[in-house]
Amino acid sequence: MRVALGVGGGIAAYKAAELARLLAERGAAVEVIMTAAAQQFVRPLTFAALTGRRVITALFPNEEADALTAAIEHIRVAQENDLLLVAPATADLMAKFARGIADDFLTTLYLAFRGPVLLAPAMNVNMWHHPATQENLGVLRARGHRIIGPGEGTLACGMAGPGRMAEPEEIAEIVFAALSRRRDLEGETVLVTAGPTREALDPVRYLSNRSSGKMGYALAQAALERGAEVILISGPVHLAPPAGAKVVRVETAVEMRRAVLEHLEPATIIVKAAAVADYHVARVPSHKLKKTAARISLELEPTPDILAELGQKKGDRLLIGFAAETENLREEARRKLASKNCDMIVANLVGPEGAAFESDDNEVVLALATGEFIEVPRASKREIADRIFDEALKLRLALHASR
């Protein structure tokens, strides 16, 4: 097990030394990358002594003889390590990660790295609460990165609140749990639909919904990390697609149906997380509708029921649907499970009582074809995605055993 440990600049850098020791003691090969700011708090020699490895401190070395090696060393580190852990992850580092700025070794490594990324933030409480930091966190979570902490308490600046880096023991446990995760979806092809659809009213207006696509993209990321081939059919969203997924972009329900059926054959697991519009305008005018004082009526027709069609065509595939409800969650999940011939329905509340749409986290109820209901408490959508696949694999074994 190989871990690239990025150390950001902050007083919590001293905790990173203990973290490096814990990881190394439990058998991980730890390669430390320190930012220039981190070296003002802890010397590189400390990490070299704890890990038994040279510490990377700059994008380019001073020695001219090593220039060629340094030019591609970030690629070497990205390819050789199984996991990238950044602790402490400062507000500056997370902003650079979120926006793709690569101006030192650690940020350049981040862009080249394709494995799981864990971030342990540490900063002043006001910096943590700042809208810019929270926006960047949302971007990083949407990419499937795990955010560990921060904890609450008295900070080095004397203020109190969230901002303390999580304790090294907690971070180490999460690292080893991530590294030990079996690639239990190897050999599977997972087809995921995500985001909303848009149904034209005229050339400039459309009907849609509040789906952000975050849940579907988290499912695609989770499937990739567990070894699956992933086909992601996405409605219009503002998210970066997971690296390694085959992405098919669509806009309308009709386009999504066509894309799903075209890519159905290799799929072994289908996850219909998209929020497909239920209706579209029967006849879309070729010109923009002008505003007048008169009331107008729209003639709407149902869009294709993609999930029900898949229920009739799924064969031996595992079919997972989603149900966004405002009330009667279990009853609606049970009804949809039967009417669409699904193996699992992932149901969640939306509206005033729920926070599924546009949120980075969720809480769901899984309705299974075996008759069971499993409640999954509030967690990040990335964690929810893993739980869905955990239960899906158990469900498939149960269904095969009963046949």
Give whole-number Cα distances, 322 to 127, 329, 367, 392, in Å. Answer: 36, 11, 10, 13
The torsion of the CA quartet 28, 34, 39, 44, rounded to 10 degrees, works out to 40
Contact partners, residue 331, CB within 8 Å, separation at least 6: none
Point out the catalytic residue in the list 157, 159, 240, 338.
Answer: 157
Q: How far apart are CA 242 and CA 334, in angstroms?
A: 32
Number of C-alpha atoms within 13 angstroms, CB side, residue 369? 22
Active site residue 157: yes
Describe the strand order of the beta sheet including 229-234 as a list of residue ranges.
246-249, 229-234, 189-194, 269-272, 318-325, 344-349, 361-368, 373-380
Q: How far apart are CA 253 and CA 238, in angstroms?
A: 18
Burial class (CB in 10 A: 0-12, 13-18, 19+), 58: middle
Residues involved in catalysis: 157
